[in-house]
Amino acid sequence: MQEFWQHLPEYFDPIAFSIGEFSVFWYSLMWLTAFAVCYGMLVYRMRNKEIAYDRELIQDVITNALFGALVGGRLGYVFFYDLSYYVTNPLSIISPYDFNLGEWVGIYGMSYHGGVIGVAIAIFLIAHKKNIRVLKLYDLIVPVVPFGYMFGRIGNFLNQELVGRITTSPVGMYFNEESVLRHPSQLYEAFFEGLVLFGIMWQLRNKEFSTGTLSALYLMLYSFFRFVIEFYRAPDEHLGLIVGNLTMGQLLSIGAIILSTGFLIYRRMHRDQKFS
């Protein structure tokens, strides 16, 4: 059983299917699955009268959130993780075809924190258009986000990317035909940042909180889990450790924890103040 576990990644082909030279990876399909699941869960909440919005608004939210996550996630990776490369290779930001190599290489590199910023902007634009309080709309979405996020990390696992650090622990796995065991950090993230966080947020979804509190709690808890799991995840090769033993993901998580904690403190000190 242990041997099966350690060799588990070898049983999965990162490519779901190919059309000529163009390949569709499981990670891409997991992204679409994530947003489909989030849409279904929001519709469930609507039908159970947990939220006072119609299906049309939910569709607009999911569509715009998907676009915001893609654009924000990609630009976040460019700016946070490899700006120097993309300054000299700007076409690589959006092109899955490498003209130097003459082949399809896909678009590699997405940032969660960039995706959050992209989704936040996309939802802000919808709220402004529909004349809805934006923090209220954020609170509507965050209870379902972790469950969708889980599929994204499973996609990383199937792609054998964002692998963990080398370990001698029996929980380790062999990735990319290496001869060393690594932590399956993608599965750690899928479990804690996805399933566990979903369980917490889903239980809190109908509790009475000040507007924006649920969103801040989500950002704080996600960032906490991410900070801890980063100690088991291999740092990006081109970045390594940034400050001491901390990775870029941990530095961004610290920033998110400070931001969300500051909001919660401010919100508590100004309970009667209305937020947009």
Any domain includes 210: no
pLDDT (0 to 100) of residue 141? 92
For the residues 125-133, what does the mean pLDDT come to?
90
For the residues 158-187, what does the mean pLDDT come to?
94
Sign of torsion over alpha carbons 144, 148, 150, 152? negative
Q: What are phi and psi of 232, to 5 degrees?
A: -105, -10
Any domain includes 70: yes
pLDDT (0 to 100) of residue 117? 92
Amino acid at 129: K
Does 21 score more than 60 pLDDT?
yes
Closest by CA position to 158, among listed 35, 31, 22: 31
Of 58-67, 98-107, 198-207, where does mean pLDDT reach its minimum?
98-107
Query: Under a CB-based contact definition with an 8 Å cutoff, are residues 119 and 69 in contact?
Result: yes
d(CA 41, CA 145): 10
Does 138 score more than 90 pLDDT?
yes
Query: Under a CB-based contact definition with an 8 Å cutoff, are residues 132 and 275 in contact?
Result: no
Closest by CA position to 137, among listed 149, 122, 150: 122
Task: Tell me how many domains the chain contains.
Answer: 1
Does 105 score more than 60 pLDDT?
no
Cα Rg of the chain (Å, integer) = 20
Any domain includes 248: no
Any domain includes 187: yes
Find the domain containing 106 and state its range. 2-203
For residue 98, what is the DSSP state? E
pLDDT (0 to 100) of residue 97? 57
For the residues 221-242, what does the mean pLDDT come to?
91
pLDDT bucket at 41, cuts 50 / 70 / 90: very high
Query: Under a CB-based contact definition with an 8 Å cutoff, are residues 221 and 192 in contact?
Result: no
For the residues 159-181, what does the mean pLDDT come to?
93
Sign of torsion over alpha carbons 5, 9, 12, 16? positive
Any domain includes 226: no
pLDDT bucket at 99, cuts 50 / 70 / 90: low
Query: Under a CB-based contact definition with an 8 Å cutoff, are residues 173 and 182 in contact?
Result: yes
d(CA 182, CA 238): 19
pLDDT bucket at 244, cuts 50 / 70 / 90: confident
Any domain includes 259: no
- CA 133 → CA 125, 127, 139, 227, 274, distances in Å? 11, 6, 10, 30, 10
What are 215's two structure tokens? 């969103």
pLDDT bucket at 271, cuts 50 / 70 / 90: low
Any domain includes 18: yes
Does 272 score more than 80 pLDDT?
no
Any domain includes 146: yes
pLDDT bucket at 253, cuts 50 / 70 / 90: very high
pLDDT bucket at 267, cuts 50 / 70 / 90: confident
Does 158 score more than 80 pLDDT?
yes
